[in-house]
Amino acid sequence: MAGHGAAPERNEGRPVDPVGRISLYDRLRQGGGLLQDGAPGGPVNPLLRMVLRWVRRPLLAALRLWRRNIQLRVVASTLLMSLGVVLLLGVVVIGQVRNGLQDAKTSAAQSQAAGGFRVAQDKADADARGEPGATAGSRVQLNSGVWLTDLVQQLASGGQGVYSVVALGSDTEQPFVDDSSGTRAPRSSGDVQPEESVPQALRDSVDAEPGTYMQHTRILRSSGAGEPGLAIGKQLNDVNGNPYQLYYLFPFTQEEKSLSLVKTTLATAGVFVVVLLGAIAWVVVRQVVTPVRMAAGISERLAAGLLQERMKVTGEDDIARLGESFNKMAQNLQHKIQQLEELSRMQRRFVSDVSHELRTPLTTVRMAAEVIHDVREDFDPVTARSAELLRGQVDRFESLLSDLLEISRFDAGAAALEAEPIDLRTVVDQVIEGAEPLAENKGSRIVVRGAEQPVIAEADPRRIERVLRNLVVNAVEHGEGRDVVVRLAAAGGAVAVAVRDYGVGLKPGEATRVFNRFWRADPARARTTGGTGLGLSIAVEDARLHGGWLQAWGEPGGGSQFRLTLPRTADGTLRGSPIPLEPEDSRRNREQAQDGVPAEQGATRAAAPAARGRAGLTTIGRTARVMSDQRRWGRRRPGGPVRAGALVLCGGLLAGCASMPDSGGVRQVDVSQRADADAQVRVFGLPPRKGELPADIVRGFLEATTSDEADFRTARQYLTKEASRRWRPSSVTTVLADGPVPRMDPRAVDRQDDSAVAVLSGDQIASVDQDQAYRPAEAEYETRVRLAKVGGEWRIDQPPEGLVLGRSDFERIYRPVNKYYFAVPGSQEDSGTGGDVLVADPVYLRKRIGKREDFVTSTVKALLKGPSSWLDPVVESKFPAGTRLADETLSLDDSNGLRVRLNDRGARVGPVQCNQMAAQLLFAVQDLASAQVRQVDLVDPKGARLCVVNRGQADAYAPAGLREPSERQYFLDARGRLASLPPGGEVPSLVAGPFGDGQVALRSVAVARSERLAAGVSQDGRSLYMAPIETGAEPGEVLLRSRAGRAEDGLSRPSWDGSGNLWIADRDPESPRLLYLARGAEEPREIVVPSLGDGRIEGLRVASDGVRIALVVKRGERTSLELGRIERTGGGPGTPPLSVNDLRPVTPRLEHVESASWAGVSRLVVVGRASGVQQLQYVRTDGSAVNTPPLPGANGVTAVAASEDEDKPLLADSEDGIVRLPPMGANWQLVTEKGSEPVYPG
């Protein structure tokens, strides 16, 4: 045993160990500990302490209100969450608006800059050559400085407020100072500061590499103001060939205003929504909280003993039912409490009466026992031992009666505390002194630690001694002869005494039951002194009476520790204990010490020992409420910072999205502007799911074929391996009006349920062959799709041939493109079309064919494959067989030029053939660019140039209708005379010659493309005349006569091809024929049309290339428009020199075609009727629809005329007279009320 005189072990003076984490509210209440980690009373800076005292009271009041008012918390949470949603929505909306404004501005800026760069370079080239467009100053002086200044002003004219133009010297490393030529000084339009507004990184990129570059910047003005904007620059050559940098600066002024308007609108709407939601939450929560508050008030009065209180119940809703249940509960509680009170009174009376009544007989028994015990030596050994047992049991019975009386005082609330300042060390010494005999008997040593310093507290010494005696005696009893350690400590406002033994310990859960009355940890344990079973229960009540804690900890086989914690003063409140409940030498702390975890950290983790299989701490009295508050608020604390951080993050994102950028990295501009911006939504197919039925498999396969995948990877997952190997999706594409409709064939289901057949049906309108050529084909479509089970899953074993698409999917996936090939030269007898004319070959290509291949590349690859089978007999490609691209992808550069690298086969050509190849490429890619393609550069596999062809050189191979398109339109007046409309004129005039002076009254007319010759048919429809359009000319002899009896059955309107050959049809029912006059002067030759059958040609129009002819053919009651191929065979033995072969329908849906005219290289304008309604529309020569706005209607149109140059107006013969529709016009304009047969040359 060791007391004061024993060598004391050093007390580490560990700080108070809080029970759980102390909340912010509790720290504020205790004061001064706001900045401490759960340890009050620590050192705080005086200034901080003064600030904390100043803010403590209002902050404490606010926190108290927050804790007590659930309505406030709900409304505040609603406002915070609403604000977060509004902020997040604002981030998304403003971000989308900003991106949209920025993208639109960037796109428009790129187009504007690209056009400006072309104008600047064209001006430099023109001024350098001294062409008519050059200024006199630039031709004579060629002063670069003056030229640059004029250029900047010219480019900036009309762009005030929209953009500014800056010209800088190309060498950005040297300062911009004027030199002799004046080219190095920066020049700018308006009040822009050129050097400060153009970022250095952008200037370095423009100076280092060719191309166009852009970067976000801040445009600075001379006044010092700045605004965000976009700078786009490129290096060019001036009039003298010196390099300089030209920049376009586009301010985001309007975009900033639009964005500011959006922000203001969103902020106003957001504030309104947040306030409205807060008000709604306040009203709704108030309706719910008011009854709850009423119930809380009544509960408090019930708790105060006013058991007659009841809730007022109104209505039949959930709150009303809650009130009824509450009232029933209160009534039952009142009844039970009354019963318990009566029972308690009876119990206390019984215990008191029994204890009192037993005192007298017990005194008599004690006196007798003492007498017997004193003379026990005179008895025999058995009787002597009985005397000793009798005295011991009488002592125990007296102790039991004393404990029962004490318990009854606690139950009755009559226990009184006689507190006085005491040193717990003295009490401990007294307890140890009394327990020494028992300890010596047990072989235990009682060790005291922490007795170096006084441990003073206001307490009742009798009760504290009783508590400690109970703890020490229990420790000695159950310590199994090992040491018992008594530890004393004081810190802050608390003192503590802990008694530690190393006996059998406590099992999980026993620490919560050890303080129950008459409970023993193990009935089999032997006690030397015996016990009443009420010692720890009385000790707990003594601790509670002091406002302290009595707690227990233990682990099986590791002993136990009981800790008594008292406040220093009688009215003090405990916040923690100076001694950890779990001792340092516990098994868990030893294990953590081996792992390097300090014991202090391990001690603070004892809040949930039951989950770890140990007996945990038990908190008695009012401490339970404190722990509950601390844990509750400790769990809530992280939510506040997280929500605040989320709101701050949303606010930061909103601020970042709330303005246009004024900085960023340098990006190269891809100005390969295409006519189709390819801005459609990409479509992805879904793979088959497990367990799908055959009908679902077929539908999934059809949907997957409409995706944008180049290799149809997803669609092939619906096929068996063998079917996937056989299936060729590019072999043919069947186009249906409304898409394929699958249905299962019940007759084809296998009895073993391992095969099935689906039928696809629909209304077919066209097909696209393996050459990508479109062909109308109206028919009922039906095909069978066979399915089989593979590995328990249905798969298609026999798919439909190629692709089966609906019209809408076809128009989304495919795009029409014109390939160009050279017409095959004619025979020597035929002085017609030669091999220097390009012919359009329309095809359909997939818009999305993969990530690495754009539409320019796919168009060039299709061109290299050769012409379609329909056009192949009359055209040829100048690319050698086997020519392929040496590059993976192609694109137009920033000057709208195309560079094509060919393989070795394509590079083995001469200069003339190379130019022809480049011309084919230039015309093919022209339809893909919004601006005119400037040139095509062909190079060999190593990059060496083969040839370069610009637009002017390529125009030499264009059809006659595109080389020199006529500006004049012609028609016949009321007297059958030929009149013309001059370019830009509104008043028609008669032409010179016999057709204009009335020598021959005409029914129809055709003007040669040279506009020096015309051919006309007389009003009776029987005679064909030809006459020059010049003064004094004579009509000449009749070139052709028809034997038809009626004018409607006579000669058709004639037509000229691009080589000056005249074509006409004789509609005589007895002998219909197609005739041809070479150069318009030879004898008419009949043209063979093998596929015409019993049809009769009612009208015709020959394309300017002389290879294609549009025929209006009547078969029975139906009149259709068909396209024929003109073949020149050379007139060998048995072979006609000319023939029109392979007629194909162009307008299968029109029942009666009245007139047609070429309106482009592969486009016709047609007047016809469908279901009795007249229609005026554009169609492509392959029979597909043209993606243009519908033409406005005109009254009673009988004839229509157009130019192959699509920029020319459309003419029509209507009931109102001759009318004209401008290219971008919305309404027809009257030319003359009296006239007919409008025509363009051709």
Q: What is the CATH number of the domain that holds 758?
A: 3.10.450
**Is the backbone of residue 126 left (phi > 0), alpha (psi -120 to 50) or beta?**
alpha
* Final residue belonging to a domain, choices 391, 415, 439: 415
* Final residue belonging to a domain, choices 945, 960, 975: 960
Residue 459 belongs to a domain: yes
Whether 957 and 936 have beta carbons less than 8 Å apart is answered as: no
Alpha-carbon gap, residue 567 to 570, rounded angstroms: 7
DSSP letter, residue 419: -
Task: Give the E-state strand segments of 1159-1228 in sequence order.
Answer: 1163-1170, 1173-1180, 1199-1201, 1210-1214, 1217-1221
Question: Does residue 949 share a domain with residue 826?
Answer: yes
Alpha-carbon gap, residue 99 to 93, rounded angstroms: 10
Residue 806 belongs to a domain: yes
| Three-point CA angle 305, 311, 317, nearest 5° | 150
Residue 655 belongs to a domain: no
Q: What is the CATH number of the domain that holds 351?
A: 1.10.287.130
Whether 527 and 632 have beta carbons less than 8 Å apart is answered as: no
pTM given for the model: 0.53
Count up the domains in the chain and report the number: 6
Question: Does residue 1068 share a domain with residue 968?
Answer: yes
Longest dimension (CA), the chain: 181
Task: Give the E-state strand segments of 433-493 in sequence order.
Answer: 446-449, 456-459, 484-491
Residue 1235 belongs to a domain: yes
HSE-CB for 172 with a 13 A CA cutoff = 19
Q: What is the CA radius of gyration of the chain?
A: 53
Identify the pLDDT of residue 639.
Answer: 46
Q: What is the CATH number of the domain that holds 231?
A: 3.30.450
Question: Does residue 528 share a domain with residue 608?
Answer: yes
Question: Does residue 441 share a domain with residue 409?
Answer: no
Identify the pLDDT of residue 852.
Answer: 39
Residue 172 belongs to a domain: yes
Question: Does residue 1099 share a domain with residue 967?
Answer: yes
**Long-range Cβ pairs for the range 897-900 (8 Å, 24+):** 897/933, 897/934, 897/935, 897/936, 897/937, 898/856, 898/922, 898/925, 898/933, 898/935, 898/936, 898/937, 899/936, 899/937, 899/939, 900/860, 900/936, 900/937, 900/938, 900/939
Question: Does residue 405 share a domain with residue 256?
Answer: no
Alpha-carbon gap, residue 1017 to 1001, rounded angstroms: 8
Cα–Cα nearest to 785, from 764, 801, 769, 765: 801
Residue 619 belongs to a domain: yes
Alpha-carbon gap, residue 346 to 336, rounded angstroms: 15
Identify the pLDDT of residue 23.
Answer: 52
Give me 95's structure tokens: 């971000």
Question: Does residue 827 share a domain with residue 808?
Answer: no
739-785: pLDDT as tens digits: 898 999 887 665 567 889 999 999 999 999 988 999 998 899 999 99
| 989 bridge partner residues | 980
Identify the pLDDT of residue 480.
Answer: 86
Whether 561 and 499 have beta carbons less than 8 Å apart is answered as: yes
Question: Does residue 483 share a domain with residue 401?
Answer: no
Residue 279 belongs to a domain: no
Cα–Cα nearest to 401, from 366, 438, 436: 366
Whether 511 and 617 have beta carbons less than 8 Å apart is answered as: yes
* Final residue belonging to a domain, choices 813, 838, 868: 813
Question: Does residue 555 share a domain with residue 631?
Answer: yes
Question: Does residue 421 share a domain with residue 409?
Answer: no
Identify the pLDDT of residue 21.
Answer: 43
Q: Positive or negative CA dihedral for 375, 379, 384, 390?
A: negative
Domain range for 970: 961-1239
Q: What is the CATH number of the domain that holds 974?
A: 2.130.10.120
Whether 897 and 936 have beta carbons less than 8 Å apart is answered as: yes
Query: Among the residues of 814-968, which ranges form H helices?
Result: 855-865, 904-907, 911-926, 951-954, 960-963
**Long-range Cβ pairs for the range 890-893 (8 Å, 24+):** 890/854, 890/856, 890/857, 890/860, 891/670, 891/672, 891/854, 891/856, 891/857, 892/671, 892/672, 892/673, 892/856, 892/925, 892/928, 892/929, 892/933, 893/211, 893/671, 893/672
Alpha-carbon gap, residue 982 to 979, rounded angstroms: 10
Give the list of residues 6+ apart from residue 865 with CB closer than 8 angstroms, or none.
Answer: 771
Question: Does residue 470 share a domain with residue 328?
Answer: no
Question: Does residue 971 share a domain with residue 955?
Answer: no
Strand 803-806 relative to strand 733-736: parallel, antiparallel, unpaired?
A: parallel
Residue 292 belongs to a domain: no
Give the residue ranges of the chain where pLDDT is below 50. 1-22, 24-25, 28, 31-42, 131-141, 172-182, 524-526, 599-642, 671-680, 827-833, 850-852
Identify the pLDDT of residue 994.
Answer: 92
